[in-house]
Amino acid sequence: MESALRLADPDGLRWARVIRETYDQVYQGSITGRFRWEQLMKTEKTHFGSLFEINAQREFGFKGGESTDFEIEGMRSMPNGVRRTVAGCCRQRFSTRSLS
């Protein structure tokens, strides 16, 4: 699955945009006055994962999975599988500052 993700976004910029937009959706800083992960409630942190998967699916056109969240190149995505893979890829390429 990692090779399919890297092929879809070799420089990681699309994934970075998905992550940044998801953070912005959860924080809603101009409305809530919160801009850091530590300021979120547990339910908001959980909601981040759901929003991330929706945003990634829209950005990359992943098909919805029947028993999983979605499929990439015919492989079923387990709920946390893509989040972990993307997080690992992004940690290698980007610092938190470059996502702002």
Residue where the block lists tokens 């409305």: 31
* C-alpha to C-alpha distance for 88 and 56, rounded to whole angstroms: 15
Task: Answer with the residue of higher pLDDT: 84 or 28.
Answer: 28
Range of the domain at 88: 2-99
Q: How confident is the model at residue 30 (pLDDT cuts 50, 70, 90)?
A: very high
36 to 17, 69, 85, 94: CA distances (angstroms):
17, 27, 23, 18
**Mean of pLDDT values over 71-96:** 53
The CATH number linked to 39 is 3.40.600.10
Task: Answer with the residue of higher pLDDT: 44 or 64.
Answer: 44
Task: Answer with the residue of higher pLDDT: 92 or 51.
Answer: 51
If one counts every other C-beta atom within 10 angstroms of the C-beta of residue 42, the result is 7
Q: How many domains does the chain have?
A: 1
Token readout for 39 is 């300021």
Does residue 90 register a pLDDT over 60?
no
Task: Answer with the residue of higher pLDDT: 8 or 76.
Answer: 8
Task: Answer with the residue of higher pLDDT: 85 or 12.
Answer: 12
